[in-house]
Amino acid sequence: MGSYRIVLGLVALAAALLAPFAVGQFWMTLITQIYIYGLLALSVDLLLGHAGLYSLCHASFFAVAAYTTAILQVRHGVPTLLAAPAGIVAGTLLAILYGASVRTRGVYFILITIALGYIIWGAVYRWASFTGGDNGITNVPPPSIGSVTIASQTAYYYFALAVVLLCALGYRILIRSPFGLTLRGIKASESRMRSLGYRTTKHLYVAFVISGAMASLAGVLYVYYNRFINPVAASFQISVEVSLMAIVGGSGTIIGPFLGSGIVLGLRNWVSSFFEFHAAVMGIVFIATILWAPHGLVGLFSRLRARDTKTKVAPP
């Protein structure tokens, strides 16, 4: 199983590296978006898949980071090396503030995060003199480091891929660390972990802040790729969609949110081209996942593979 996963990972990495030479511009755009939204879904899944908290406000961190970066670059001429970290810091500071929501559990946590998300959406939508309102902020310059500018679509593809791979590696180390195992224990039985002496609320708070920082990084990648930002990025729909990505792909895994991102974005682009009510299709996909693949595509694949292996080793 271990060698199988290594081979599969190497094949996937090779396909990602060779994709710009094998696909057209449309697919390059779509795959880059899959990376960015997959990273956002991965940030949500740190809470959902490992801590058992269903957050619906991550679009806020995503949008605040993107708006901060765009405003600094477009209106104040701040270079990328300062604007991008400032965006991540702004989104993380918001996560530090919103992290107080982990004092609640279950449906109350969901409702509070929905309300917190609408605060940011309302601010970026109504504060037109600062955020541009419906028009948003346009003409965001491409990211540059010194004399090197990442201007072409291919260059940005590889840049986004490198950032996502580094984040996935760091994420893997995090969830396999004692901290990550503690989150798993809290998800399984918070009362038992508390009785063992763990400060469960503090662990969840730190996880929430880390998750917000990852979402902020995704927001910076998003604004540099699209070269604009508007209130849609802070909407409730984005928070719901990235949660759907994590669940459909396979919550509690690393590859699952990216698989879910590919499915959701692929369906949205394909279905919306000929069907006006494409959101209904997303709802059907979500219902089908809950009914027939509650652990997502990764869980379904693992279950089918285990069944196939059991059939092969069964005595005649």
For residue 303 the two structure tokens come to 């279950």
3-state secondary structure of 315: coil
Whole-model pTM: value is: 0.93
Residue 249 · residue 256 · CB < 8 Å: yes
User: What's the fold here for domain 2-313?
Assistant: ABC transporter involved in vitamin B12 uptake, BtuC (1.10.3470)
User: How far is it, in rounded angstroms, from Cα 156 to Cα 31?
Assistant: 11
Q: For every one of its 316 residues, what pLDDT tens digit does the chain have, with 9 covering 90 and above?
A: 556 677 777 888 898 999 888 888 888 999 999 999 999 999 999 999 999 999 999 999 999 999 999 999 999 999 999 999 999 999 999 999 999 999 999 999 999 999 999 999 999 999 999 999 989 999 999 999 888 899 899 999 999 999 999 999 999 999 999 999 999 999 999 999 999 999 999 999 999 999 999 999 999 999 999 999 999 999 999 999 999 999 999 999 999 999 999 999 988 888 777 767 777 777 888 888 877 777 888 877 777 777 766 666 555 5
Domain assignments of the chain as residue spans, ordered by start: 2-313
Cβ-proximal residues to 292 (8 Å cutoff; 6+ apart), any chain: 300
Note the helical H segments in the chain.
2-22, 25-48, 58-76, 80-98, 106-126, 128-131, 153-176, 178-188, 190-195, 200-226, 236-249, 255-271, 278-292, 296-313
User: What does each C-alpha distance from 187 to 41, 53, 105, 170, 259 come to in angstroms?
Assistant: 19, 8, 11, 21, 23
User: How far is it, in rounded angstroms, from Cα 137 to Cα 151?
Assistant: 19
